[in-house]
Amino acid sequence: MEEEIQAQNEPAYGFGDYLPSAGIVGIIFSLITFAAGLFFGYQQINSEPTGTFFSPFMISSGVICLISALAGLLAVWHFTREVSPELKLGQGAVLGFLTGAVIAILGVVFNELWVMLFDPEYSEKILSSLIANIEEMELPSAQKNEMIDAMAESVVSGQSLLRQLFMGIPITGLINLITALIGVKIFAEKPEEKF
Binding site for another protein (CB under 8 A): 53-54, 58-62, 64-65, 68, 89-90, 93, 104, 107, 146-147, 149-154, 157-158, 163, 167-168, 170-172, 174-175, 177-178, 181-182, 184-186, 190
Contacts of 116 (CB under 8 A, 6+ apart): none
As measured in angstroms, the least distance from the Cβ of 106 to another protein is 13
As measured in angstroms, the least distance from the Cβ of 118 to another protein is 21
Q: Which is nearer to another protein, 21 or 30 (CB)?
A: 30
Q: Which amino acid is at 154?
A: S
Grouping H, G, I as helix, E, B as strand and the rest as coil, residue 10 is coil
Q: How far apart, in whole angstroms, are the C-alpha atoms of residue 137 and residue 47?
A: 15
As measured in angstroms, the least distance from the Cβ of 184 to another protein is 8
C-alpha angle 145/46/111, rounded to 5°? Answer: 85
As measured in angstroms, the least distance from the Cβ of 172 to another protein is 7
Q: Which is nearer to another protein, 22 or 73 (CB)?
A: 73
Q: How many CB atoms lie within 10 A of CB 73?
A: 24
